[in-house]
Amino acid sequence: SFVEGLYCDFVFITLNTLFSISTLPPGHGNHKEDSPFLTTSDSASKRNDYYDKNLALFEEELDIRPKVSSLLSRLVSYTNVTQGAKEHEEAESADASRRQVPKSPNMGTLMGVYLPCLQNIFGVILFLRLTWIVGTAGVVQSFLIVLMCCSCTMLTAISMSAIATNGVVPAGGAYFMISRSLGPEFGGAVGLCFYLGTTFAAAMYILGAIEIFLKYLIPQAAIFHPADIHAGSGAMLNNMRVYGTICLSLMAVVVFVGVKYVNKFASLFLACVIISIVSIYAGAVKSIFLPPEFPICMLGNRTLARDLFDVCGKTLVVGNDTVPSQLWKNFCSSENFSSAHCDEYFLHNNVTEIQGIPGLASGIIKENLWGDYMEKGQILEKANLPSVDVHGSMETFGFYVSADIATSFTLLVGIFFPSATGIMAGSNRSGDLRDAQKSIPIGTILAITTTSLVYFSSVVLFGACIEGVVLRDKFGDAVSKNLVVGTLSWPSPWVIVIGSFFSTVGAGLQSLTGAPRLLQAIAKDNIIPFLRVFGHGKANGEPTWALLLTGLIAELGILIASLDMVAPILSMFFLMCYLFVNLACAVQTLLRTPNWRPRFRYYHWALSFLGMSMCLALMFISSWYYAIVAMGIAGMIYKYIEYQG
């Protein structure tokens, strides 16, 4: 009958359809599912893949409507360890044999690019030197320094985004990205400059951590002590060398034993950076209504080191008697008022007390607009205070706050530039990104924009809240040896001190983790034969020999023992790296090479050329002799690879 025939046709079509579905390869049509049900439990990896996602009606909603719990769990498992580090560590674990199914890249723009870039860009200079730069250069010139450095890195990020979106982004970071796209000469030169910059960055971060430790956390831990208050900074430099070497050795052991320990604390280090920056803004807002109490003692217009006396006055009243203060004893030979032989400047000038943090509503920014560059040993002075210009004795020089180095605009550019580096942290994780061609440009440019806004606003806030002599006081001697940026923070200066210490230690560990892997990648490419030995490592691929060389090079930076001298060195190598990136992008665009087809549309050869010119200019502005040495090294690497090829 007609009904029976219709039923037979239906059964035939259904069986045929089921048979055709059953013969399809797994995941046909949609790579994410092998079954029409999102809750299928074929394996533990499937359950993890679709965990917390089975409330979506359509699969497209999974990415555009994430749940709060998913975001929190991703933040908890956030890592800033370079790609490849976790895989090597997992190879040593006992259950490595059970990991047969390779995990697909699943990191998005926020966790894979934006946060790692943010953590790498914010660093030790923001907490230890930005207030000093603002006080020395003034708000206007500091604004110019920040603008130059951030513009240079933004233009480089645009060029890097074009390179990153030129075809499939290979796993392995900036070196692989550039060498596979633009050839081994560019890749090798960029890679080695980036390696040397990252290695010296590790030394800079360690020196910053030791400076915080010895100056603000536990000053009693110093091994070497100056003979008297008039002695130079030699004892402090020796302390930095000893503790820096110990810290570098401990960090190298941690990296050698296993980067999983670095990975576990990545969220803590990121939280320290964010909390420290938020506390600065909170303190600036609070200073409008209730400025913190940090009085500065002035003798005439000269700034006194506050930790060398208790009362800011020449005399004090005890009962009904007027007796000499500790300040009087410092400047006079006797406690007898009539027969004491005192310093001439001390006798002719009055002692006054001014507020170190006048607050955002005080109008102090008018005095801090313009620079006050000083020579080494020059005493910090406040121009509008009355002073009798009398030469004092050299014996009392140690009671004043003075400049430890000669300053200039070019020096400050070299010291600040490392604060703008770290833009390649996202590209270093290219193999872990779900969509590298989308995530690298967006995440990197957003991170640079965010950090630039923080730097610009910090320059204005520091100039508008803090007294000029305190800003120029690099080590906080005028505010009882407190960290200057900590005096502004809320609720306590210890928030910045502890937060900056942990974030600096974390940044040093990440540099020591990333640099050896970069050297190992260059060595394995065999483009520089004498580096071949550094391609070998432990059985699981950990770069043991590369870590040893990185530690030795970082030790050279530690032996310099001065943050202000190491910062321009790593600035050179990063600027050379960025110069090559911009040059490569500009040349490829102008030559119209067939394999140059970036998906990133917002680039132009003129922007790359401008970025390259800015890198070159900043190199010679910072230090012309360092620039010549860095260019010589990069040029020799380029020609050597070209000759070998």
What mean pLDDT is predicted for residues 499-511?
A: 89
Question: Does residue 102 register a pLDDT over 80?
Answer: no
Cβ–Cβ < 8 Å for 506, 268:
yes
Distances (CA, A) of 349 to 231, 299, 356: 26, 6, 20
Strand arrangement, sheet containing 295-299: 302-303, 295-299, 351-355
What mean pLDDT is predicted for residues 217-240?
A: 83
Residue 448: how many other CB atoms lie within 10 Å: 24
User: Structure pTM?
Assistant: 0.83
Give 469-480 as a DSSP string.
Answer: HHHT-TT-GGGT
Residue with the bigger pLDDT between 612 and 229: it is: 612
pLDDT digits (tens, 9 = 90+) for 328-367: 888 888 777 776 788 888 888 899 999 999 999 888 999 9
Residue with the bigger pLDDT between 569 and 319: it is: 569
Q: Would you place residue 86 in the very low, low, confident or very high pLDDT band (cuts 50, 70, 90)? A: low
pLDDT at residue 419, as a whole number: 92
pLDDT at residue 10, as a whole number: 53
How far, in Å, CA of 554 to CA of 199, rounded? Answer: 6
Mean pLDDT of the chain: 81
Residue 198: how many other CB atoms lie within 10 Å: 30
Weakest-pLDDT range from 149-163, 398-412, 513-527: 513-527
pLDDT digits (tens, 9 = 90+) for 265-279: 778 888 888 999 999
How far, in Å, CA of 223 to CA of 507, rounded? Answer: 26
Weakest-pLDDT range from 91-100, 123-132, 431-440: 91-100
What mean pLDDT is predicted for residues 427-446?
A: 81
- 149-153 LR contacts (CB < 8 Å, sep 24+): 149/413, 149/416, 149/417, 149/419, 149/420, 149/618, 150/420, 150/448, 150/451, 150/452, 150/455, 151/614, 152/420, 152/575, 152/578, 152/611, 152/614, 152/615, 152/618, 153/420, 153/421, 153/423, 153/448, 153/578
Q: Would you place residue 64 in the very low, low, confident or very high pLDDT band (cuts 50, 70, 90)? A: very low
Q: Would you place residue 69 in the very low, low, confident or very high pLDDT band (cuts 50, 70, 90)? A: very low
Report the half-sphere exposure of 398 (CA within 13 A, side-chain side).
13
Weakest-pLDDT range from 116-125, 172-181, 191-200, 452-461: 172-181
Q: 184 Cβ partners below 8 Å, 6+ apart?
A: 525, 527, 641, 645
Question: Does residue 642 register a pLDDT over 70?
Answer: yes
Percent of the chain topping pLDDT 70: 80
Q: Nearest 10 degrees: CA dihedral of 560, 563, 565, 567?
A: 120
pLDDT digits (tens, 9 = 90+) for 550-567: 999 999 999 998 999 999
Q: Would you place residue 158 in the very low, low, confident or very high pLDDT band (cuts 50, 70, 90)? A: very high
pLDDT digits (tens, 9 = 90+) for 387-435: 888 887 778 888 899 998 999 999 999 999 999 988 887 777 666 678 8
How far, in Å, CA of 615 to CA of 612, rounded? Answer: 5
Weakest-pLDDT range from 55-59, 172-176, 314-318: 55-59
How far, in Å, CA of 88 to CA of 604, rounded? Answer: 39
Percent of the chain topping pLDDT 90: 37
Give the single-character DSSP code of 611: H
Give 263-275 as a DSSP string.
Answer: HHTHHHHHHHHHH
Q: Would you place residue 39 in the very low, low, confident or very high pLDDT band (cuts 50, 70, 90)? A: very low
Domains belonging to the chain, first-starting first, are 109-289+419-465+491-644 (1.20.1740.10), 295-355+374-399 (no CATH)
pLDDT at residue 340, as a whole number: 73
Weakest-pLDDT range from 19-23, 142-146, 208-212, 481-485: 19-23
Cβ–Cβ < 8 Å for 83, 436:
no
Question: Does residue 32 register a pLDDT over 80?
Answer: no
How far, in Å, CA of 211 to CA of 503, rounded? Answer: 13
pLDDT at residue 72, as a whole number: 46
Residue 247: how many other CB atoms lie within 10 Å: 19
Helix or strand holding residue 564 (H, E): helix 563-591
Residue 279: how many other CB atoms lie within 10 Å: 22
What mean pLDDT is predicted for residues 213-224?
A: 91
Q: Would you place residue 54 in the very low, low, confident or very high pLDDT band (cuts 50, 70, 90)? A: very low
Give the single-character DSSP code of 308: G
How far, in Å, CA of 538 to CA of 87, rounded? Answer: 13
Residue with the bigger pLDDT between 295 and 265: it is: 295
Which letter, b or e, does each residue of 127-147 get, where b requires 16 or more Cβ atoms within 10 Å of its Cβ?
bbbbbbbbbbbbbebbbebbe
Q: Would you place residue 494 in the very low, low, confident or very high pLDDT band (cuts 50, 70, 90)? A: very high
Cβ–Cβ < 8 Å for 599, 437:
yes
pLDDT at residue 229, as a whole number: 65
Cis peptide before 491 (omega within 30 of 0): yes
How far, in Å, CA of 398 to CA of 411, rounded? Answer: 25
Token pair, residue 578, equals 């960025």
Residue with the bigger pLDDT between 261 and 221: it is: 221
